[in-house]
Amino acid sequence: MRAVRIHEFGGVEKLRYEEVEEPKISFSTEAVVQLKAAALNRIDLLNRAGLTGMEVALPHILGADGAGIVVEIGAQVSNVKKGDAVCLFPPSGCGQCEFCLTDRDFMCVHLRVLGERLNGTYAEYVKVPARNCFPIPPELSFEEAAAFPLVFITVWRMLITNAQLKPGELVLILGIGGGVATAALQVAKQIGAHVIVTSGSDEKLDLAKNWGADHGINYRRSDFTKEARALTAKRGVDVVVDCVAGESWAKSLASLAKGGRLVTCGATAGADAQTDIRRIFWNHLKIFGSTLGSREEFCQLLSFMRASQIRPIIDQVFPLEETASAHRRLEEGKQFGKVVLQIGE
Ligand SMILES: NC(=O)c1ccc[n+]([C@@H]2O[C@H](COP(=O)([O-])OP(=O)(O)OC[C@H]3O[C@@H](n4cnc5c(N)ncnc54)[C@H](OP(=O)(O)O)[C@@H]3O)[C@@H](O)[C@H]2O)c1
Ligand SMILES: [Zn+2]
């Protein structure tokens, strides 16, 4: 099959489009999926550069998100059959620890995510645990079905399970160009929240308004805390979605109303941020950290997508052989929404 692999860690030039042996089922609980599309996530850039601190066997296929058609199933598989169109739930655990036994694979100490410690989706075929195959929400193309799982499951856990976002609440989402941020905008608007977004680009702020954002703040030109406070009559917002961190972190905490919640899943601009602890206890703040989500949450998300008819925001689609250009677009921060790879015809 054709796939994009890295043989060593480094820049985009390390991505090699080449012939690779097709994956074969090794356990009776697995399935092989012929991929029609894959999507990029920021973590792919870190995996490519070898910056996650994880041991990865090289050569390695990147890619956590994918959608396609089931072409082979193990003897014990009953949730899908050959010919089914599926999207992929990215994480899987050891299946035996206290977390895996309670549908919390995302907390497993042996957590394996597609494209990280497992060969991923930048390929014509991928082998996965069959229980990670889910029916594609109606009307979604393969590109859209590949674009939503990782960012939307992360956002679902952050906003719905953890922050328990309510209609009418005020939400501030940082760096709206990103995949997580655009997913958060879509979910928050559908819930009926009032959404303020930040971006380093006026063009992206305009795009966000077309997608329902109520206010946009350019973080390069102004202090988003001051603006968010001004927009809320000094009260502050109920929820901040901050996967940027760095210098934004202290400003995110300062943007919250009393009793506000901050949700975080990433630190694109730096993980070593300053915190004024007094702000947390004086203002009764809650900080929720999370990574991905459970299969139950993924099922809730699928129902929500069916009912709301939400489709993920796609920035640009590249053919698999142009994966390096797709990585460059994400690395340069040009995207608004998801960068997707089209695989096969
Ligand atoms: N733990 C998890 O489960 C999980 C899941 C998904 C993602 N993540 C993490 O979450 C982060 C976002 O992921 P993603 O896939 O959405 O990334 P992405 O698509 O590459 O988006 C990154 C966005 O961050 C914004 N940004 C960068 N520097 C900024 C700054 N100094 N201030 C404000 N915004 C800034 C940019 O927004 P503008 O272009 O609008 O300025 C950019 O579009 C990454 O760190 C990723 O590793 C974690
Ligand atoms: Zn486990």
Q: What is the DSSP string of 144-207?
A: HHHHSHHHHHHHIIIIIIIS---TT-EEEES-TTSHHHHHHHHHHHHHT-EEEEEES-HHHHHH
Question: How far is ligand 1, taken at its centre, from the CA of residue 175, in Å?
Answer: 7
Token pair, residue 153, equals 């499951």
Tell me: pLDDT of 257 over 80: yes
Tell me: pLDDT of 345 over 80: no
- For residue 181, give the amino acid letter: A
Ligand 1 pocket by C-beta < 6 Å: which residues?
41-43, 150-151, 154, 174-181, 199-201, 204, 219, 243-244, 246, 248, 265-269, 291-292, 330, 333, 335
pLDDT of res. 55:
86
Average pLDDT, integer, range 166-177: 98
d(CA 175, CA 243): 8
- pTM value? 0.97
Average pLDDT, integer, range 71-85: 98
Average pLDDT, integer, range 203-231: 98
Task: Identify any residues that bridge with 128 across adjacent strands, giving them in sequence order.
Answer: 31
Q: What percent of the chain has pLDDT over 90?
A: 98
Output the CA torsion sign for 200, 203, 206, 212.
negative
Average pLDDT, integer, range 24-51: 97
* Residues 340, 38 contacting (CB under 8 angstroms): yes
Most ligand 1 atoms within 8 A of CB, residue of 41, 148, 268, 338 to mutate? 268
Most ligand 1 atoms within 8 A of CB, residue of 40, 42, 224, 247 to mutate? 42
* Residues 199, 208 contacting (CB under 8 angstroms): yes
Give the angle subtended at the CA of 232 by the CAs of 227 and 234, to the nearest 5°.
80
Average pLDDT, integer, range 276-287: 97
Query: Could you give the count of Cα atoms lying within 13 Å of 52 in the half-sphere of its Cβ?
Result: 17
